[in-house]
Structure 1
Amino acid sequence: MSPLALLLILVAAVAHASWNLLSKQASKADGVVFLWLGATASTVIWGPVAIGYLVATGTPVTLRDVGVICGSTALHVGYFLLLQRGYRYGDLSMVYPVARGTGPMLASAVAVLFLGEHPAPAGIAGIVLVGVGVLIISGARFKADKGLLYGLATGVFIAAYTVWDAQVVGVFMVAPILLNYGGEVGRMLALSPLVWPKRHLIGQVWREHRPRVLGAAVLVTLSYLLVLIAFTMAPVSVVAPAREVSVLVAVLLGGRLLAEGGLRRRLLAAGIILGGVAAIAFS
């Protein structure tokens, strides 16, 4: 992995953990409304950047581009809905590592089985370490904890969109900014029918969580844009696990800022996951 790709991934990890902190802080609000507000704000904030890119580069947007972006949007909508639901029931320092740890394991497995990528033995050992870390952080309570179950389900969507989006920017050659922005517009449109019956809550959620909505609107797009750019520099089986250094950041944020319990055990588990990530990334 090139130093630039690694730098992009590390910055993305901090941004990603930070917007998840904001989402957790807003978890008592209506999740669908909060997500719709975030997507709408992101559409407005990042619109000039996307339009400026199109004008400056003269890049055409084809029907094929729209089709693959719609596929990405569907996966991301499922991801956001499950994650926000997970935060309603579970701690940031538990749900986030379980989701982010499960995702790269599955993404790497798919990349090996279907994309012809072949990680070294160290990479395989890293995948095992990530699995062990997820088990430790769960406290073996998968059946009893809704937050953990939602975290695992979120991990499936993480794996799916990671592999899909890597093909979109790599094989289909869709510019990362267009995929990212198109996904935000698509998420806003896809959630609109779900928000309509709850439209009376829009003003309330906006007033109570405006800084979190705006912060997430900026950081969600920024964090994933950096990852998409990294996908153009390194294989999926390397980028997907390496970005999960964010689990350590999220556990620290949850323990220190949200006063969540079990910090030592979760830090240990996050460290194991991080070790597995490092083994995969540098194998």
Structure 2
Amino acid sequence: MAELIYAIEGTEAGTRAALILALSSAFLHALFGALQKGRHDPWLSRGAIDSWLFVLSAPIALFAVPWPQGAEWVLIFGALGIHFCYKVGMALAYTRGAYTVVYPVVRGTGPLFTVIGAYLIFGETFTGMQWLGVGILLAGIFGLAAYNLATITVARDTLVPALWLAVGTGALVAVYTTWDAYGVRATPNPFTFLAWFFFITAIDFPIIAALRWRRAPVPLPPLALRGFFGALIAYGSFGSVILATRLDKVGEAAVLRETSTVFAALIGWLILGETVGPRRAALMALIALGAVVVEFGG
């Protein structure tokens, strides 16, 4: 599999593969967010997901891929710290705000900072048309968040702190996207970084969740089942976008992934029972239009 990545990176085929990976990641990440925000405490849900990620990733990291060497360990343990802060931010925001308000703000803040980081670190540049696409996408995302904020009736007393947490967490999305992109590019075998990324970054939240569960126990079988499916989705979501950043521009992958907001609105409507309506549908179409302009405006 690594040989295929080596063969297509930097080629037109690699660009097409990165597009597919980024859009796949968008859908899966929206599903992942809904799982964490679902009927269980977000801290417990994330702990259950990470427990399965740790168990499933251990044999792959330890026996199936080459071990990291030298500075690669710094990149992997750096990812642990960054993703821990991100996961705490998401859990705090989800505890205080509705999914369809929090999620768009997190995902809308992330790509703008990521594009700037990709320019500073990787020397990537966007055309004027692509910047227009970024503007359209962000207008749709923040418009969706503003509309949800104006109409939502659940947990309104905690929405303002939830939004501030969402903005801060969005900045962490940019940090981890840039860091992970650097890590997967600096590691000769991309699957070494991926396997150890999932293994190492999953060691923290199971401990937090276990302590939280002891104070307020809930039935374990449904929580464990949610965690198992969440882990499988996480492999597809985070793994896809990390590979996309190796195959093509980091900024483009980050922007395309934020079409997850469209999928999130649909999931919120179909699964969580949150209404969509014509205004939300129009804003979702604006997000999709922005992503198309970014992709084809280069």
- Whole-angstrom CA distance in 1 between matches of 2:288 and 2:63: 37
47, 50, 63: which one aligns with 1:39: 50
> What residue number does 2:132 align with?
125
Pair 186,243 (structure 1): closer, same or farther in 2 beyond 3 Å: same
- State the alpha-carbon separation in 1 of the partners of residues 202 and 160 from structure 2: 30
SS at match of 1:232: helix
- TM-score of the superposition, structure 1-length normalised? 0.86
Moved more, 91-100 or 73-82: 91-100
Q: Determine helix, strand or coil for the equivalent of 1:145.
A: helix
Letter in 1 for 2:47: W
Q: Distance in 1 between matches of 2:24 and 2:174?
A: 20
In structure 2, relative to structure 1, the CA distance for the partners of 1:60 and 1:45 (3 Å cut) is closer
Sort the Cα spacing of 1:144 and 1:229 in 2 relative to 1 into closer, same or farther, 3 A: closer
SS in 1 for 2:247: coil
Aligned counterpart, 1:265: 279
Local SS of the residue matching 1:119? coil
Q: Distance in 1 between matches of 2:219 and 2:143?
A: 35
Backbone CA RMSD of aligned residues: 2.6
Using structure 2 for the length normalisation, give the TM-score: 0.82
The Cα of 1:241 is off from its aligned counterpart by 0.7
Question: Structure 2 residue aligned with 1:155, among 165, 170, 195?
Answer: 170
Aligned to 1:244: 258
Alignment equivalent of 1:50, drawn from 56, 61, 82:
61
Contact 2:106 2:167 in 1 (8 A): yes
- Report matched runs for 1:25-36 at 5 Å: 25-26=38-39, 28-29=40-41, 31-36=42-47
What residue in structure 2 maps to residue 146 of structure 1?
161
Deviations 1:252-280 (A, max 9, x none): 01012111135433333232222222222
Question: By how many angstroms is 1:52 displaced?
Answer: 4.9
Change over 3 Å in CA distance of 1:216–1:176 after alignment to 2: farther
CA contact (8 A) 1:252 1:267 kept: no
For 2:107 and 2:26, the matched residues in 1 are separated by: 11
Summarize the Cα distance change of 1:114–1:5 in structure 2 as closer, same or farther, 3 Å threshold.
closer
Counterpart among 167, 179, 183 of residue 182 in structure 2: 167
2:227 counterpart residue number = 213
Equivalent of residue 89 in structure 1, options 92, 96, 104: 96
Partner residue, 1:64: 71
Which residue number corresponds to residue 102 of structure 1? 109
1:189-219 Cα distance to aligned partner (Å, 9 max, x none): 3346645643525863633422211111111
Query: Take 2:165 and 2:279, find their aligned partners in 1: how far apart are those partners?
Result: 20
2:249 maps to which of 204, 213, 235 = 235
Aligned length: 276
- 1:16 and 2:23 aligned: no
Q: Could you tell me which runs of 5 or more consecutive residues in structure 2 were left unpaired when the two chains were aligned.
A: 1-11, 151-157
Percent identical pairs in the alignment equals 23
CA shift for structure 1 position 18: 1.3
Counterpart Cα distance in 1 of 2:18 and 2:34: 24
- 2:52·2:227 contact (CA, 8 Å) conserved in 1? yes
Q: CA deviation at 1:106?
A: 1.0
TM superposition shift of 1:134 = 3.1
Matches of 2:209 and 2:38, distance apart in 1: 20
Q: 1:192 to 1:135 in 2, by over 3 A?
A: closer
Deviates more, 1:264-273 or 1:237-246: 264-273
- Shift of the 6–134 alpha-carbon distance from structure 1 to 2, 3 Å rule, reads closer
Shift of 1:153: 1.7
The answer to whether the Cα contact below 8 Å between 1:69 and 1:179 also exists between their aligned partners in 2 is yes
